[in-house]
Amino acid sequence: MRTSNELDGVTLLGDTHVKYPDQYSPEVLEAFVNKHPGNEYLVTFTCPEFTSLCPKTGQPDFAKILISYIPRERMVESKSLKLYLFSFRNHGDFHEDC
């Protein structure tokens, strides 16, 4: 079980009144302390329906994003990562550049 000190900075998880960003918002990303920094393991996130807006046509530009990393001292909180990726929804750029 994690202590409240170990969850400092994790504010979005469990919050049922989260505001979904409608503009690019890197500040929504949160992280927490990895309880097992000496263990080498792979964390993988899949975003099957990433969208941004094509800067030429304004139409949705779709992508599937896979993020894999080996955590060291801190780990990305997954709900904040989902909100971060969602924040590109109205961002005018090719998904490859996002």
pLDDT tens-place string over residues 38-93: 999 999 999 999 999 999 999 999 999 999 999 999 999 999 999 999 999 999 99
Pairing of strands 31-33, 74-76: antiparallel
Q: What is this structure's pTM?
A: 0.81
- Rounded distance between C-alpha atoms, residue 22 and residue 88, angstroms: 8
Q: Which fold has domain 25-98?
A: GTP Cyclohydrolase I, domain 2 (3.30.1130)
- Residues with a known catalytic role: 54, 61
Please state, rounded to an integer, the average pLDDT across all residues of the chain. 90
Among residues 11, 15, 43, which one has the least CA distance to residue 27? 11
